Amino acid sequence: MKRFTSIIICISLTLTLCSCGRGLKRFEKSFMDVFDTASSIVAYDTDEKAFEAHFEELHELLVQYNNLYDIYNSYEGVTSIKDINEKAGLSPVKADERIIELLKFGKKAYEISDGAVNICLGSVLSIWHEYREEGKRLPDMNELKKAHEHADINDLVIDDDNSTVFFADSEMKLDVGAIAKGFAAQKASEYAKENFWSSALINLGGNVTTFGIKPGGAKWVVQIENPDKNSSEALATIPVVDKSVVTSGDYQRYYEVDGKRYCHIIDEKTLMPADRYSSVSVICNDSALADALSTALFILPYDEGKKIVNSLDGVEAVWVDKEYNIINDEL
């Protein structure tokens, strides 16, 4: 009887999966105009016209997040983080609630990461950015130390009720690069799920967010890029359901001086680029958290990072050393 019941359950589950997927087709579209990175969306929809309309809606949402979270550019009719950096040292600046939410998450990321991810490190990060763009020399340590006097996260004053941001230190600057893509990808994913799709994958430059299963019942499969550019094979292939996979790597943005690579992720303790791993990927059900954690784990010693991962429910990480070997043995 028990066996009979489970067969019936199996059959009805299969029928449900088939009927869910009936008529849904796979569509994919790439774009380059948000978060300064190559992005794509894959989704199952009824037909091309419906997909195009939904894609446009989602793309428009991502453009809005891009403009709000931009630290380098201003946009008409929008107060971006760049505008906040210019004005919030003088008096409180009215900010979109999506910025308030991101900055509050930034404070949380600082706590979770034991200070490894600090969105108020902008004055230091902008120096590294300048030298990286120039591509020839390393910044002077005294210059970095002086800038670092203006990076206390407690000087970021968020007034939730009035939706304003103020810097108690007028020389402080925000840099939300460690969390913005993941935060926006999470919002986009929630919007699409709520409004039109039951199964999709949103990839913002390697910050991958998925929800649902494919119409035939298969899981989304996310590849972890191989930091070894000479290898065409993915480092790992991970089937996921309702999960994000986010990677921080030393191959994503870097420059070289005297044959040594200096990447875009800066350890606040040394004020130098983090240099422990080739990459760290984080898998969990929240893309913003995955983004914050992947940057944090890329900076922290393995034991400290592992402790953070173990303290959080449903979070997994893959550390890859400089020789392109996966360090942790669970996978």
For binding to ligand AMP (CB under 6 A), which residues are involved? 117-119, 121, 125, 175, 177-178, 248, 252, 264-266, 268, 291, 294-295, 299
Question: How near is the Cβ of 25 to ligand AMP at its closest, in Å?
Answer: 33
Please report whether residue 178 would count as binding Mg ion according to CB under 5 A. yes
Please identify, using beta-carbon distances, which residue of 212 and 249 lies nearer to ligand AMP. 249
What is d(CA 151, CA 122) in angstroms, rounded to the nearest whole number?
7
**Residues 272/141, Cβ–Cβ less than 8 Å:** no
Give which of Mg ion, ligand AMP, none residue 70 binds (C-beta under 5 to 8 Å, depending on kind): none
Question: How near is the Cβ of 199 to ligand AMP at its closest, in Å?
Answer: 26
**Residues 105/288, Cβ–Cβ less than 8 Å:** yes
Site for Mg ion in 293-322 (CB under 5 A): 294-295
Taking CB atoms, the residue at the shortest distance from ligand AMP is: 177
- Give the side-chain half-sphere CA count within 13 A for 132: 18
Which residue, chain included where needed, has tokens 């971006």? 80
Amino acid (1-letter code) at residue 114:
D
Question: How near is the Cβ of 251 to ligand AMP at its closest, in Å?
Answer: 11
Please identify, using beta-carbon distances, which residue of 178 and 240 lies nearer to Mg ion. 178
Q: Which of 151, 185, 206, 167 is nearest to 81 (CA)?
A: 167
Structure-token pair, residue 71:
């630290």
Q: Where are the beta strands (DSSP E) in 146-206?
A: 156-159, 164-167, 200-204
Question: How near is the Cβ of 274 to Mg ion at its closest, in Å?
Answer: 12
Binding mask 258-297 for Mg ion (x = CB under 5 A): ---------------------------------x--xx--
What is d(CA 166, CA 173) in angstroms, rounded to the nearest whole number?
11
Question: How near is the Cβ of 72 to Mg ion at its closest, in Å?
Answer: 17
